[in-house]
Amino acid sequence: MNKLIIPFLFVACLYITTGCDREHDDLISQPTETSTIISGYIETPDGKPLSGIPVSVDFKVTGLISTSVIHKAKGTTDKSGFYKIFFEADNEIGQGMHSGYVFSVDFSSLSQDDYIISEKLDYGFTAIKEEWNGSTIKCDFTIPHKKLVDVTVKNSAIPVVDGKYAVKNEFPYLTVSGYLLDDKNPWNDVAIWRIYENVEMQMNGTISVTIPCALNGENTLRLVYLGDESIGYPNGIPASKAKTVEINDKFNETIELSYITPDPANRWDN
């Protein structure tokens, strides 16, 4: 199973230093008027809070032979799934124009058999001091339970474009509100989680595959063309119509997709 999260900006610099890897804390006990605050809730689609999830912000400078890390903020979600972390974003300015901050949320304590996301996620961004003073960003995560769903792909004598194919499932899992810049979010307003299950496409017949889906939420499934040895399309070019399905505990249907010839002109139709 291959997974792809919608891309986020993180710029690592070639910071040349002769020492070993370095890290230290630069934490504050309470926010000030100039602090950057990141807060939100982490829960399942039906509102069950996920407590004890670690969240953090680090400032990182990555080089050819070493990495420097300043731990700026640390926290965990409480019994209601709420977290709030805060830090001052001015001490690092000038350490490297291509260095950056990383906001991390660690879901690795969640069972891989039960939850569809169970790993540490990093979101990177750069900053200029004036743009950060007193800013607040709200990041709410919706982490669904996992349900395996059967999918069939049918092709009735349509010529198949050579290359790699996969059934793709995508669903929203992160909503961001609040801005670091006046006209730009640090990430997308809504972040999309994508899961791919590779299939061997054929000119006639039916292909079956089982793919993880988000329980108690909308899942959008379609067949996509991932390219060939000469060119690849990471998000995939549509090779079927998309089907959006609400998946619950009682769902036991097989989702059917029908092959259409992929068109590179529609590669951004995700």
pLDDT in tens, the chain (270 residues): 544 443 343 333 333 333 447 888 889 999 999 999 999 999 999 999 999 999 999 998 876 677 789 999 999 999 999 999 999 986 555 554 457 889 999 999 999 999 999 999 998 876 666 777 788 889 999 999 999 999 999 998 899 999 999 999 999 999 888 765 444 455 555 689 999 999 999 888 899 999 999 999 999 999 999 999 999 999 899 999 999 999 999 999 999 999 999 998 876 654
Which residue, among 191, 141, 169, 140, has the nearest Cα to 247 in the 3D structure?
A: 169
Q: What is the rounded distance in angstroms from the CA atom of residue 117 to the CA atom of residue 143?
A: 6
CATH architecture type of domain 146-266: Sandwich (2.60)
Euclidean distance between CA atoms 242 and 254, whole angstroms:
15
For 30-57, give the DSSP string. S--TT-EEEEEEEE-TT--B--S-EEEE
Q: Which two tokens stand for residue 129?
A: 């001091």
List, in sequence order, every residue forming a beta bridge with 19; answer none if it has no partner: none
Measured in residues, the chain has a length of: 270
**What are the start and end residues of each CATH 2.60.40.10 domain in the chain?**
2-142
Predicted confidence at residue 17, as pLDDT, reads 37
Return the pLDDT at 24.
Answer: 87
Specify which residues 74 forms β-bridges with: 56
End-to-end CA distance of the chain: 19
Nearby residues of 133 by Cβ (< 8 Å), 6 or more positions away: 33, 34, 89
Fold (CATH) for 2-142: Immunoglobulin-like (2.60.40)
**Side chain identity at 199, as an amino acid letter?**
V
Q: What is the pLDDT of residue 176?
A: 85
CA distances from 176 to 59, 140, 162, 165 (A): 20, 7, 39, 31
- What tokens does 117 get? 């996301």
Could you tell me if 32 and 13 are in contact, meaning their C-beta atoms sit under 8 angstroms apart? no
CA atoms lying within 13 Å on the CB side of residue 68: 16
The DSSP secondary structure of 89-152, one letter per residue, reads -STTTTS-TT-EEEEEEE-TTS-TTTBS--SEEEEEE---HHHHTT-EEEEEEE--BEEEEEEE
